[in-house]
Structure formats: structure tokens, C-alpha cells
Amino acid sequence: MKYGSVQRPSRVAVIGVGILGASVGWNLSQHGAKVVFIDAGLPGEGVTNWSFSWVNASNKTVRRSYFDLNVAGMATYRELAATIGRDSWWYPSGHLRWADEPAAEAKVLKAVELLAGWDYRVEVCTGAEVRRRFEPALAMPGDVPVLFYPDEAWVHGRHLVSRLVGQAVAFGAELRTGTAVRDVGTGADGRTRTVALSDGSRLDVDTVVNAAGPSASHVAELIARHLPMRREPGVVTRLNCAQVPIHRAMHAPHIEIRPDGDASVVVHSREIDALIDTGQDPAELAQLLHESARHVVPELGNARIAQTRVSNRPILVDGFPSVGAVPSVPGYYEAVSHSGITLGPIIGRLLAAEILSGKRDEMLADFRPERFSP
């Protein structure tokens, strides 16, 4: 892709090296921009590594433009896998969803009509068919209706971030880890000019991308911008098992389960998320997750709880992404979204194009940062 005659940025600081920051920086590096990645931790080790990592649009139907953006995100993943290789990060094995009580079941089935009208592929199966065709290890009634989304996938986020950052560095990007951003300086013209780090160094830049996930509001404050985010913590547990008994991501009653490589699975539940603020220890929450998972996949009863993390999701107050330039501060851009896994590659592509060309893509029209009042 070629861009117009707009002057290219001389140096871009990408703050936060999760899936969004890595995607933006990789796309910029591919087109010759000088990128410096900055992260207080290690690339991909934050929320990206502690996400259910489900690539989908079936759960993004609250607004058609949001659904369309997520569909584009799914397509961009397929292109990315063809470009950089899919090996240890891309698992396009589809997704299963079913419920265990009438109201929830009716809601699941109602989604089929909407998605079919939007040309989104979904199959309605029975539990018996699912066990025969896809997942023999599941414990479910034979007559329960199950939705199978063949175009959905899951991603090993940390592996993908490592691949993208590694390629960007090979193209000349710089990686600064273990150091936080302490200040963003602007010039007399109001444009971003410097980034000061906690290790005492100061970088000369002319463009800053805020992809700091849960810390994005703090980074925004450094330029006197209020970025309204809500607190919504989630708990994710990894279970180690001798052999992974399932093959794809699934939303079962009361629990979400997906493979996580050759020897572990990831489990999450919004019902158990609701217990985080009751004072229960994360180890107790992990036990509840394990118990719920065992009811769906009995073989997981022999699995061992390996790791558990409670982390805050990067969710804007209205639930939608904030992507693009902030007109009041030239050179400052945001790439903040809860749906970071699904949207990372498409946001990375669109935002890099905007930074390099100055042109705003209509696909992001509903998700611009300026919708939040100064």
C-alpha cells in the first residue's frame, strides 16, 4: 500500500506493546516509519496474555458499524496469517456456543436470525452432532441446540505479539521494555515532541500512539486529556493437562473454555468475574473456574491449576474503541479497545495508514477519540 504526499513521521513512539501496539508498530515499520515500542513490562505479557483471545463478530452486534469492524478484523487475521505464517499463534478452528436454560437458549437462537441477515456464517447443531463431529469429550445433552461459527478462531496473543515485534525490529524498530512513560512533552505548536521514561531517558519523537490498554487513561492525562474508561476486572485461569481434550474455543453454560497450546486450556466466566470484588482470593476463583470447566469437559477434572491472573480490561465508558488522532494535540493518536484481540490487526492497519497518509478511514467514523468531550 502506498500513501500520499503527507510528510512521514520521523519517529513514532508506540506506548504499550500488547496486540494493539504491536499491530500498529508492525504496520508502520512495514512502510518505513521509525518506531520505538515502549512497555513497562514485556511485549504481550499484559492483558493480551490474559484474555480469552476469541476472534469473532458474533458477540459484537450491538451496533452494525462495530460488527462490520470486527468482521474486517477477522478477514485481516486471515491475511496476516498468510503473510507472516500461522504456526503457533493462529487457530481458525471455529467456535461453539450453547445454553442450559430456556431464556438463555432463546437468546442464543435469536442471534442466528440477526447474523444470517448480516451474511455471517452460523450452523445450528444438536449436542449429539457436536460430540460426533467436533468435540467428543464434551458432556452435554444430546438434544441441546448448539451454534457453530466456522469462521471464528482463537489466537495465542503473546506468540503473535512476539512475531510482530520481532519482524518490526528486523525492519529497524526499537524496543524499550521494563520502563514506563512518565511524561509526553509538546512543542510551542502543541505537537508531541518528546517522551520521558522512568529509566531517566528522554526520546525525541513527533508522533505518539497511546496503546497502553488499561493504563491508556493515565497516558492520556500526560497530555491533559480525559479518556473515560470504566473498571471491569476479569479473572482468567490456565489449566495444565497431559493432553488437551478440546479442539476449539467454546462458550458453554457458565464457563468459557479454549485450548492454549498442546498442554493447557484457558478458562473464564463472567459470573465468576462478578465475585472479584467480594474479597475472594484469586486462588478460590480459580477453583470455581476449574469446577465449572470440569462439568463441561469431565477430563479436565484431572487438570492442574497452573496460573491465574486478575486484570482490568481496557474498556472505554461507552464500550467502543477509541482509534485515531486527537485533533487538539497534533501527533497524538489512540488505539484503545476491549476487543483488542479481534480488532488488533485491523486497527493496526487502519491507524498506521492514517498516521502515514493523514486520511481517516470511514470504517472508524463511529470510534473516533473526539467523541469524548475535552
Predicted confidence (pLDDT) per residue in 59-94, tens digit: 999 999 999 999 999 999 999 999 999 889 999 999
Nearest-angstrom CA–CA distance, 225 and 23: 24
DSSP 289-301: HHHHHHHHSGGGG
DSSP 51: S
Looking at the DSSP bridge assignments, the partners of residue 146 are 125
**Whether the Cβ atoms of residue 182 and residue 218 lie closer than 8 Å to each other:** no
Which residues have CB under 8 Å from 135's CB, separation 6+? 96, 246, 247, 248, 250
**pLDDT of the residue at 279:** 87
Helices (DSSP H) in 180-300: which residue ranges? 216-221, 270-273, 282-296
Sole residue written with cell 491472573? 309
**Range with the poorest average pLDDT among 103-107, 127-131, 212-216:** 103-107
**pLDDT of the residue at 1:** 43
Q: Helix crossing, 64-84 with 340-357: angle to 10°?
A: 80
The mean pLDDT value for 85-114 works out to 92
pLDDT (tens digit, 9 = 90+) per residue, 9-49?
A: 789 999 999 999 999 999 999 999 999 999 999 999 999 99
Residue environment code for 147-181, b if the CB has 16+ CB neighbours within 10 A, otherwise e: bbbebbbbbbbbbbbbbbbbbbbebebebbeeebb
**Whether the Cβ atoms of residue 347 and residue 77 lie closer than 8 Å to each other:** no
**pLDDT of the residue at 2:** 46
Nearest-angstrom CA–CA distance, 91 and 81: 10
What pTM value is reported for the model? 0.95
pLDDT (tens digit, 9 = 90+) per residue, 291-310?
A: 999 999 999 999 999 999 99
**Whether the Cβ atoms of residue 205 and residue 12 lie closer than 8 Å to each other:** yes
Tell whether the model's pLDDT for residue 365 goes beyond 60: yes
* Nearest residue to 210 via CA among 50, 3, 372: 372
Say whether 285 sits in a helix, a strand or coil.
Answer: helix
Looking at the DSSP bridge assignments, the partners of residue 265 are 239, 259
Q: Name the grid cell of 31.
A: 512502510
**Whether the Cβ atoms of residue 54 and residue 154 lie closer than 8 Å to each other:** yes
Nearest-angstrom CA–CA distance, 303 and 286: 12
**What Å distances lie between residue 51 and 154, 157, 188, CA to CA?**
10, 8, 41
Q: Is the dihedral of CA 186, 187, 188, 191 positive or negative?
A: negative
Nearest-angstrom CA–CA distance, 280 and 150: 37
The mean pLDDT value for 257-280 works out to 95
Tell whether the model's pLDDT for residue 286 goes beyond 90: yes
Helix (H) or strand (E) holding 70: helix 64-84
Nearest-angstrom CA–CA distance, 128 and 66: 34
**Whether the Cβ atoms of residue 154 and residue 248 lie closer than 8 Å to each other:** yes
What residues does each domain of the chain span? 12-50+157-230+316-371, 95-150, 233-312
Sole residue written with cell 484481540? 341
DSSP 359: P
The mean pLDDT value for 152-166 works out to 97
User: Which burial class, exposed, middle or buried, applies to 297 when counting CB atoms under 10 A from its CB (0-12, 13-18, 19+)?
Assistant: buried
The mean pLDDT value for 254-269 works out to 96
The CATH T-level fold of domain 12-50+157-230+316-371 is FAD/NAD(P)-binding domain (3.50.50)
Tell whether the model's pLDDT for residue 146 goes beyond 60: yes
| Average pLDDT across the chain, whole number | 95
* Nearest residue to 34 via CA among 172, 144, 233, 127: 172
